[in-house]
Chain A
Amino acid sequence: MRQFLKDREHLVRMAVLFAAGLVLFLIVRIVLVPKDFYELGHFRTGALADNMARPMVFAGREACESCHSDIVDERKGSRHAAIACEACHGALAKHADDPASLKPARPDARTLCLVCHREDVASPKTVKQVNPQTHMGGQDCISCHKPHHPEMT
């Protein structure tokens, strides 16, 4: 006991050093960890807003149809009616925001139609498939089929 009291100074010094280290750690931690970390889990809540903030490139079908109602009527009852506009016409959010700023280009039917309709053993037979050599010879698809209503009348 006497020995312990004599060496007390070493223990106190160690305890003070340990406490100082702990305090330093806590200060660094408070400064470095953002306020919104751990709010909803082991991540920064602001990261959700970051992910939401990305600009859109595809406008979405509703935006197209709010102006082009004539095309909606044209497509009614056709096999293509369920397909969204931008599936063929490409990403057009810029055009939807400001129609004058970007005029959409007319898709090239001969390549575009075959993206879906080229014969392939792996494609399900629910979608019409053609062999471009035997089906149409040198003709364009659109000389017989209207893309917005492709059924032959």
Chain B
Amino acid sequence: MGIDRREFLANTGKYILLTSAAALAWDFVKAGRPEAAPDYTLRNHWWAFAIDIEKCIGCGNCVRACKTENDVPLEPYYFRTWVERYHVPNGNIEHPEVDSPNGGYDGFPPRYPPGDGSKNFFVPKLCNHCAHSPCTQVCPVGATFDSPDGVVLVDKTYCLGCRYCVQACPYGCRFIDPRTMIVDKCSLCYHRITKGLTTACCETCPTGARALGDLKNPKDPIHEFLRTHKVQVLKPQMATGAKAYYNGLDGSVR
């Protein structure tokens, strides 16, 4: 890295004169907001996700597609997205029975008999891409961060594999990749959505139970979805600013 005497003296002076925080703020002001890709403008997007539980049939297409698209290890069974099956007997939402065999990768073998008075449904899960994500707040090195377009991403060259973020995520959406020993999570198919495509899971969902949405695009169907459905996020009491909106979310879902 090249640095001449003038720049060195200027930097030294700046850091001594300003407190370190103020110096960083000054860098930020000077740099402006450079864009990472020429045909994709970060500030024009704010990504969110819509999930319709009433449409999910538990086929597992999303789980398989995600593993294929993002090179997620097949075994042991780690996931960027997975599907849970809820069985709520007698309307007792405090004690649901939840199963997710291999995360739904091989589908769900029939398990509960029809007509036993229970409530049964599937819940797809993935990173909620929180606006105030607890996982990014605990990262000691800035390897995981909220991108300016509302996606929680991982810098794989910076991650130490310390696992603070794995513990901090209230939704259990992170795992340590056993091959690299660094963290991995749903990137909202950042390589696809920045090129105008949808995520692999949305692409392969046969019923439209999940849909990527851009909250800054007024023409995006997610606005219609949010207007016409009674939506809820997971664990609203955590105040994470979660952006995965669920329609038909039962009180038993954790």
Contacts and interface: CB of A to CB of B under 8 A. Distances in A.
Interface of A: 22-23, 26, 30-31, 35, 37-58, 60-61, 82-84, 86-88, 90-91, 115-116, 118-124, 126-127
B122 interface: yes
Given A44-B158, A51-B190, A124-B55, A58 B208 contact: no
Interface in B1-56: 1, 3, 11-12, 15-16, 24, 27-28, 31, 33-34, 36-37, 40, 42, 54-56
Contacts of B122: 122-123
Given A41-B146, A51-B190, A58 B57 contact: no
Given A26-B12, A87-B204, A120 B191 contact: no
A22 B12 CA distance: 10
B210 to A, nearest CB: 12
Nearest to B194: A52
A9 B142 CA distance: 42
B178 interface: no
B169 to A, nearest CB: 17
Given A39-B31, A124-B56, A116 B197 contact: no
Contacts of A50: 155-157
B206 A87 contact: yes
Rank and list the top 10 A-B pairs by shortest CB-CB distance, nearest first.
A47-B155, A43-B145, A122-B120, A54-B191, A48-B36, A51-B190, A87-B204, A42-B142, A123-B57, A60-B197
Given A91-B69, A119-B110, A49 B36 contact: yes
Instruction: Place the interface of chain B in its size category.
Output: 35 or more
Interface stretch (B59-67, B216-224, B232-240): B59-67
Contacts of A91: 65, 68-69, 200
B73 interface: no
A38 B204 contact: no
Contacts, number: 158
B103 interface: no
Contacts of B33: 39-40
Contact of B54 (A35, A38, A118, A124): A124
A54 B153 CA distance: 13
B55 A123 contact: no
B77 interface: no
Interface of B: 1, 3, 11-12, 15-16, 24, 27-28, 31, 33-34, 36-37, 40, 42, 54-61, 65, 68-70, 85-87, 107-108, 110, 112-114, 118, 120-122, 142-148, 153-158, 187, 190-192, 194-195, 197-198, 200, 203-208
Contacts of B58: 120, 122-123
Interface of A is mostly: loop
Given A115-B60, A121-B114, A127-B57, A52 B37 contact: yes
B197 A56 contact: yes
Contact of A47 (B59, B113, B153): B153
Given A43-B155, A53-B191, A91-B69, A58 B59 contact: no
Most A-side CB within 10 Å, residue of B3, B147, B195? B147
Contacts of A120: 57-58, 108, 110, 120
Nearest to B16: A22
28 contacts: A38-B27, A40-B34, A42-B142, A43-B143, A44-B142, A44-B155, A48-B190, A51-B153, A52-B191, A52-B194, A56-B192, A57-B200, A58-B68, A58-B69, A86-B65, A91-B200, A115-B60, A115-B107, A116-B207, A120-B58, A121-B112, A122-B58, A122-B112, A123-B57, A123-B122, A124-B54, A124-B121, A126-B207
